[in-house]
Amino acid sequence: MIQEKIKLATTSLTQDEALAVYRDMILGRVFEDRCAQMYYQGKMFGFVHLYSGQEAVSSGVISQLGPLDYVSSTYRDHVHALSKGVPARAVMAELFGKATGCSRGRGGSMHLFSAEHRLLGGYAFVAEGIPVATGSAFKSKYLKEVLNDPHRTEVTACFFGDGASNNGAFFESMNMAALWKLPILFVCENNLWSIGMAHSRASSVHDIYKKALAFDIPGVQVDGMDVVAVHKVAKEAIERARAGEGPTLIEALTYRFRGHSLADPDELRDKEEKERWRKQDPIPKFQHFLYEQGMATELELKSIDREIEVAIDDAVQFALDSPEPPVDEIYRFIHAEDE
């Protein structure tokens, strides 16, 4: 199977689509910045892993999905949830452990879930969500081809980090997905670090997209700091999946701007490396693209920025005002409930 490296891309984005993608990227960035603020003020507890710097991957992929498509995430799941349409109020309330959260205050930062928005969950264990996403894609294919429901054209997007690409669950799931031509995108967000382990020291194959060769499926490496490039790759992979042509492995080269979690002093990564990647911030890069293409003015983008700031202020206040889960419901939601 031909492997590709894609760094630059022309765009098929319409103006409305481009502005929606920009709004989504700003939503993710501002939300995560406010999470850091709330965490250090003692309003948020536990492990909190922020996505800042990687917004082009979430927005570029999930903007291509429909409301019936599925997303599986990792412990760095806030922005995936927002991109899939989970309201900022519900995500923020979950991080505060409130009953109004998307997981009713039981999941916290690493375990966001929304059946309504087809968010299959955030998963704390490395590679834990990959088999779940594979099962989701199998269900879609089974309903369509075995139970003869031609309207079942759902696609599953499975996000994971570079460390997960060395896990057995990754290889087993890739094999099954290739064997059965499942409608799934395996999206590796390669931010170069697995906590404090550099990817180059952890994997015998540095280019993760080449691992697709073992399963004879397309493997694509893309600049994960360029939302236009990610959008193009995701569009092609989703079209293949919907057409019954099977999975695609996408390796998005990206970088997290903060430590592994907010408890991480981030002393292991080289200062020059961090500064070099900061200069590739996907948001200013996309702003420049929008200006260059005549899709937006500075005034229009600043208006979106203000709109998002107001929405996040509202989400924080909603979380602060929301009730704690009732003590007498401590054992509730262990098992599924009837509608």
Nearest to 314 by CA among 36, 34, 47, 111: 34
Let me know if residue 259 belongs to a domain.
Answer: yes
Measured N-to-C along each axis, helices 88-95 and 298-321 cross at an angle, to the nearest 10 degrees, of: 50
Question: Which residues have CB under 8 Å from 249's CB, separation 6+?
Answer: 174, 186, 188, 208, 209, 211, 212, 217, 218, 219, 220
Torsion sign, CA atoms 334, 87, 137, 171: negative
Let me know if residue 333 belongs to a domain.
Answer: no
At position 116, the amino acid (one-letter code) is E
CATH value at residue 49: 3.40.50.970
pTM score, whole prediction: 0.95
Let me know if residue 327 belongs to a domain.
Answer: no
Angle at 149 between CA 148 and CA 155, to 5 degrees: 120
Is 100 within 8 Å of 85 (Cβ atoms)?
A: no
The residue range of the domain holding 285 is 3-320
Chain segment 40-93, per-residue pLDDT in tens: 999 898 899 999 999 999 999 999 999 999 999 999 999 999 999 999 999 999
Two tokens at 207?
């280019």
Nearest to 70 by CA among 216, 211, 203, 183: 183
- pLDDT given at position 339: 60
- pLDDT given at position 338: 73
Q: What is the mean pLDDT of residues 14-20?
A: 96
Structural domains counted in the chain:
1
- pLDDT given at position 5: 54
Let me know if residue 336 belongs to a domain.
Answer: no
Chain segment 265-297, per-residue pLDDT in tens: 999 999 999 999 999 999 999 999 999 999 999
Is 185 within 8 Å of 134 (Cβ atoms)?
A: no
- pLDDT given at position 3: 54
Q: What is the mean pLDDT of residues 172-182?
A: 98
Is 189 within 8 Å of 249 (Cβ atoms)?
A: no
Let me know if residue 307 belongs to a domain.
Answer: yes
Let me know if residue 334 belongs to a domain.
Answer: no
Question: Which residues have CB under 8 Å from 121's CB, separation 6+?
Answer: 72, 73, 77, 111, 112, 113, 129, 132
Chain segment 239-256, per-residue pLDDT in tens: 999 999 999 999 999 999
